Amino acid sequence: MTWEYRRTEQFDVVRRAWSSGHGVLLSGPAGIGKTALARHFATSIGRRPLWIIATPGMVQTPLAAVASVVETERLGDTAATVETLRARVRSGEIVVVEGAEYLDPSSEAVIARLFTSVACAGLLTARDAAGPVLGRALGAAGVVEVAMTPLELNTVAEMVEHRVDGRLSVDDAVRLHRTTAGNPFLLIACVDSAFDGGSLTVEDGVIALDGAFGGSPDLLDLGADRLERANDAERELIDLLSLCEPLPRAVVDHLGLADGISDAEGGLVLPLDDAVVPGHLIYTAIRRATMGLLERRVRASRLADAMNAVDGGPIGRVHRARLCLDYTMPISAGDLAESAALAFMMGDFPMAERCARAAVTAGGGLGALLQLARAQSGMGRSALAHQTLDGVDPDSLDADELGGYAISAALTFLVGDGDHSGAVTVLDKFEPRLESAAALSSFAAVRALAHVNAGAQAAALRWSRRAQALAAGAPLWTSLGEYVEAESLRRSGEVRRPVHLASDALVQAGQLGSVLATGARRTIVQALLADGDVGTAAAVADKLLEATLLHHVPRAIACATRAAVDIARGQHEPALRLCAESLQSLGEYDRTGLGRGVAMLVALVCAETGDVDGARRAVEQSTRGTVAADGWGGINPRLAAAFTAVAEGELIAPSAVLRDIAQTCIRAEQWTDAVAVLHCAVRWGDVEAARMLTEAAATCEGRTVEVQRRHASALAASDAEGLVLVSGQFADLGFIPSAVDALGQAVVAHRSAGRAGLADTLLTCLSALQGRCGPLDTPALRAALGPAGLTRRESEVTWLLASGESVQQIADRLSVRAPTVRALAARARAKSTVTGH
């Protein structure tokens, strides 16, 4: 694994500081990559590292750190020692001080004088602050501190895949990222030990990572040594965490183990929100391997009793049910049913099904049966859910029971079948028999959800507000109503209110589980993207990926949400990985419509990168499970088909499809989606779409939409300078593919106006801009790099011929005659000859 593969921004910061004549202090925890970056930077500038290494054991020995690099006879003379180091720097070496915080006072004085007397003397690494003498000297010398940050989630996945040569699931990437805290050293140790121990395998290019993987011998020794030095509270917490992670803080306090929680990095047990987690996976792995069965059962019994005695929150109650089921400890049918409902709300549908089935067996009655059906439909097994509900006679139920039954049946249609009208029909049938405000609120919230998924904007907004107004004492349904209102307003073109409302829903959803929280975070991410805040959108999406329990639909939504951010930034490889994980999470039974949307995102990536085969597979995936071929339900398959046509070389017909889809969005008052769809066509050079976008964007908020509107106006006016300005604005926001396309269109506009010199200058900028994202092969880029003056039809014929299609195939595809294709190709060749392409 090489440092270059990390692609971190820190290297650029070091390079800029060095170019300005400043030394650099690299700070961060052990293993974060300080030494590797220092070595890589020295190599990049052609300098030999002169290593001065300080350790904790050297602090009391004068000049211990510099003794290995300076002749013995000079060690007693500070000035001579400094001059020796200066001479070595002038001869082409670069000083690299390892562990600057452990320098003995004499060595610290030498290094201080060196850095204040020589510009760009070298680099220092430190975990903690340097001593007072060195600290003042570094400040006087203008040394720039560069904080080494942990690896991002995508980088962790890339490094593992690079090392093992396979595709890592998002779940495993999240777990490794959390386990290693983004530390490269720990990541390498975990992955290598898992591979050597057989708990990491690669089959058909897919990495399988066993949850119980251990560590390398060195890491195991370090872990065992730390466990030997653990106090009683630490040891007990690690034992409990080996059975249940995370542990609710309330349970820890109840057991009197708070002294075992560390407040510093590197501790055995660390706090995480309202819970505690192991400082590293190796500690719990060691205890799981060494704890006997009887000891494990005793610990599990104590933990279950503690969870029963205190309110450990939803996670604590679900964990208690799991422990009782795993170790055959007694638990009531009511507790199992409650745990099933909590697990369902948190998105852990397999656990919800397991608890609900056990509750039914234990005599849990109607509530357990209904929860079983919800869990089955949540996993896409709607046939089983319908079969489970067939055993219930609605006419025998009272009003409250009937409300629960109807909600379960509606969710089976809505989630399991993707049949929004079927869900509403169930609610219509049983609503007249409801009595309580809470039941009416639940019906209104589920109606709102069905309508927003069906694209019925006004109805969704109306029912979402009704759900909030009916029952203030039913937080689940009022929160769901608030979320649907936020999503409806976002689709209508707003940005600020959706973020506010979804954030409010998220606060309540934090107490209710991750299904609702997943939807709320997704709405926030999409609104932030519309407002041009890509950085915050990525952070919120990462938080969603790192949620404790992500299974099936919630996990699929989380992956697709993060993929949308990566696509906007032009990070196509991680986006495709996330989309694949999303589709895998949904499985073959998906009828929610989410799978169609994710497959459409795959087709979009393929269109931007020229992957024709990948786009065609995405069309098949997007078409699968589509209930409606026309209207709102058929939009994503049509988009996927249009993107595939563009990847193949078409322009005019796909643009017309996008304009038609935008009209469907507008009729449903989905203004944000209309603008997004039209902007794709604008990037393809469609002037008619540009005029439509200019009008549609007038109803929308957000910086991104405003730049998209300017892009459309500049394209329609063939305004090369305006396109250059728009490109810069897209780049500043982080939307690199859009920036590349706008700049490519500026190149074409300059050429068309006879300004070849300006066009050639922009080509250099275009190449640099492309380097900020993954490989691109868009129509705008092809046009900028190809012959000047081609019409859109001539471009289509040129690209289709280059892809290997025959004249007759192209004629059939474009609905023109073969002689017309030949004439278009001849004109394109003539223009190519004139311009030298």
Q: How confident is the model at residue 629 (pLDDT cuts 50, 70, 90)?
A: low
C-alpha 267: how far from its chain's center?
28
Domain count, the chain: 4
Sign of CA dihedral 627, 629, 634, 637: positive
Q: β-pairing, 275-278 with 48-53?
A: unpaired
Which of 748, 764, 787 is the last residue in one of the domains?
Answer: 787
Distance of CA 248 to the CA centre of its chain: 26
Calculate mean pLDDT across residues 29-44.
82
Query: Does pTM top 0.75 for this prediction?
Result: no
What mean pLDDT is reported for the chain? 84
Listed residues 122, 147, 172: the one ending a domain: 147
Backbone φ, ψ for residue 276 (5° rounding): -130, 150
The verdict on 113 and 177 lying in the same domain is no
* pLDDT for the residue 632: 65
C-alpha 370/C-alpha 385 separation (Å) is 9
Cα separation, 459 vs 444, whole angstroms: 10
CATH classification at residue 759 = 1.25.40.10
For the segment 574-602, the average pLDDT, to the nearest whole number, is 80
**pLDDT for res 739:** 95
708 and 779 both lie in a single domain:
yes
CB-based contact 424:445 (threshold 8 Å): no
Using the predicted structure, report yes or no on whether residue 242 has a pLDDT greater than 70: yes
Residue 730 lies in a domain: yes
Note whether residue 233 is domain-resident.
no
What is 606-666 written as a DSSP string?
HHHHT-HHHHHHHHHHHHTT-S-SSSGGGHHHHHHHHHHHHHHT--HHHHHHHHHHHHHHH
Least confident of 20-29, 232-241, 584-593, 806-815: 584-593
Choice among 10-24, 260-274, 617-631 with the minimum mean pLDDT: 617-631
Q: Domain boundary at 147, 175, 193, which?
A: 147
Q: Are residues 79 and 188 in the same domain?
A: no
Please check whether residues 201 and 89 belong to one and the same domain.
no
Round to whole Å and give the CA distance between 577 and 438. Answer: 42
In whole angstroms, how far apart are CA 515 and each of 53, 67, 252, 317, 832? 51, 61, 27, 17, 56
Asked if the model's pLDDT at residue 731 lies above 90, the reply is: yes
Q: What is the pLDDT of residues 190-209, one digit of tens each?
A: 787 777 777 778 877 778 77
For the stretch 810-828, pLDDT in tens is: 888 888 888 888 888 888 7
- The reply to whether 178 and 136 lie within a common domain is no
Q: Rounded to the nearest 10 degrees, what angle do helices 105-117 and 78-90 cross at?
A: 50
Higher pLDDT, 6 or 407: 407
Residue 328 falls inside a structural domain: no
**Average pLDDT estimate for 734-758:** 92
- On whether both 654 and 774 belong to a single domain, the answer is yes
Q: Is the peptide bond before 246 cis (omega within 30 degrees of 0)?
A: yes
**Of 551-565, 616-630, 734-748, which gets the smallest average pLDDT?**
616-630
pLDDT-derived band of residue 333, with 50, 70 and 90 as boundaries? very high
Could you tell me the pLDDT band of residue 746, with boundaries at 50, 70 and 90?
Answer: very high
- Per DSSP, the residues of 384-439 read HHHHHHTT--GGG--HHHHHHHHHHHHHIIIIII--HHHHHHHHHHHGGG--SHHH
Q: Would you tell me how many other CB atoms lie within 10 Å of the CB of residue 221?
A: 11
Which comes out higher in pLDDT, residue 656 or 176? 656
What average pLDDT does the segment 56-62 reach? 73
Q: Is residue 258 part of a domain?
A: no
- pLDDT above 70 as % of the chain: 91
Is the distance from CB of 498 to CB of 668 less than 8 angstroms?
no
CA neighbor of 282 nearest in space, from 161, 192, 202:
192
Q: Which domain holds residue 140?
A: 3-147
Sign of CA dihedral 466, 469, 472, 475: positive
| CA dihedral sign, ordered 597, 598, 599, 600 | positive
- Determine, yes or no, domain membership for 105: yes
State residue 218's pLDDT score. Answer: 62
Same domain, 160 and 111: no
Mean pLDDT, range 96-123, rounded to an integer: 85
Residue 215 CA to residue 286 CA, distance in Å, equals: 9
Task: Clarify whether residues 720 and 629 are in a common domain.
Answer: yes
Question: 671 pLDDT band (50/70/90 cuts)?
Answer: very high
Please state which of the ranges 129-138, 255-264, 587-596, 785-794 shows the lowest mean pLDDT. 587-596
Q: Which CATH number covers residue 127?
A: 3.40.50.300
pLDDT at residue 837 tops 70: no
The model's pLDDT over 498-524, given as tens digits with 9 standing for 90+, comes to 999 999 888 776 555 567 888 899 999
Residues 775, 793, single domain; the answer is no
Q: Give the 3-state secondary structure percentages of the chain, helix then strand then coil, rounded to 5.
A: 70, 5, 25
Handedness of CA 763, 767, 769, 773 (dihedral sign): positive
In this structure, the answer to whether residues 768 and 826 fall within a common structural domain is: no
Instruction: Please check whether residue 667 lies inside any domain of the structure.
Output: yes
Under 8 Å CB-to-CB from 709, ≥6 apart: which residues?
A: 693, 694, 697, 698
pLDDT tier for residue 1 given thresholds of 50, 70 and 90: very low
Q: Mean per-residue pLDDT for 61-65?
A: 77
The pLDDT confidence band at residue 630, using thresholds 50, 70 and 90, is: low
Tell me what the mean pLDDT of segment 722-737 comes to.
Answer: 94
Taking the alpha carbons at both ends of the chain, their separation in whole angstroms is 41
Top pLDDT among 637 and 415 is at 637
**Position with higher pLDDT, 630 vs 479:** 479
Please report the pLDDT score of residue 745 as a whole number.
94
Mean pLDDT of 456-482: 83
DSSP 48: E
Same domain, residue pair 619 and 745: yes
Is 317 part of a structural domain of the chain? Answer: no
| pLDDT given at position 7 | 44
Compute the average pLDDT of residues 597-616. Answer: 89
In a domain, 633, yes or no: yes
Q: Give the model's pLDDT for residue 4.
A: 43
CATH number at residue 809: 1.10.10
Residues 782 and 799: beta-carbon distance below 8 Å: yes
Task: Give, to the nearest 10 degrees, the angle between helix 756-770 and helix 736-752.
Answer: 170
Residues 589 and 612 in one domain: yes
